[in-house]
Amino acid sequence: MSFAELTPPEAARWAARAGLDLPAERHAAVAATAEHIRSVVAVLRELDFGDTPPGAAYRAGGENPDAAV
C-alpha cells in the first residue's frame, strides 16, 4: 500500500482543524515529523485484529484485578 506524503500546507491545515495554529515557519518541520510517525505507525495496518479489544484498560498480569500471581 502506498501513501501520498503529507505536505507542509496539509500539515498546517490538519493541525488547524485540531485547533492548533502553526506559524508558517513550522509547517515543513511538523509535516516531516508527522510523516515519519505516520510511516512508523502505519505498519500496524498489516495486522488482522479480528475482535481484539484495545489494551487501554489492560492489566499486565492478565484479567485478575488483584494481580495475585
Partner 1 sequence: MRPYELTLAAAATEIRDRRLSPVELVDSVLGRIDRVEPHLGAYVTVAAEQAREAARAAEREIARGRYRGPLHGVPVGLKDLIDVAGTPTTASSRVRDGHRAAADSTVAARLRAAGAVLVGKTHTHEFAYGLTTPQTGNAWDGGRVAGGSSGGSAVAVAAGAATFALGTDTGGSIRVPAALNGVVGLKPTYGLVPRHGVTALSWSLDHVGPITRSVEDAALVLAALAGHDPRDPASVAAPAVDYRPEREPDLTGVRVGVPGNHYVDHVDPQVAAAVHGAVEQLEALGARPVEVEIPMARYLLPTLWGLVAPEATAYHARTLRTVPELYQADVRVLLEAGELIGAVDYLRAQRARTLIREAWARLLAEVDVIAAPTVPTTAVRAGQEAVDWPDGTRESVSDAYVRLCAPANVTGLPALSVPAGQDAAGLPIGLQLLGRPFDERTLLRVGHAFERTQPARALAPVLRARGLRARGL
Site for partner 1, rule CB under 8 A: 6, 11, 14-15, 18-20, 22, 26, 29-30, 33-34, 36-38, 40-45, 47, 49, 52-56, 58-62, 65-69
Contacts of 20 (CB under 8 A, 6+ apart): none
CB of residue 56 to partner 1, shortest distance in Å: 5
CB of 39 to partner 1, least distance (A): 9
Distances (CA, A) of 60 to 14, 26, 44, 54, 66: 35, 39, 21, 13, 11
CA dist 27 and 16 (Å) reads 11
Cβ of residue 60: shortest distance to partner 1, in angstroms?
Answer: 3
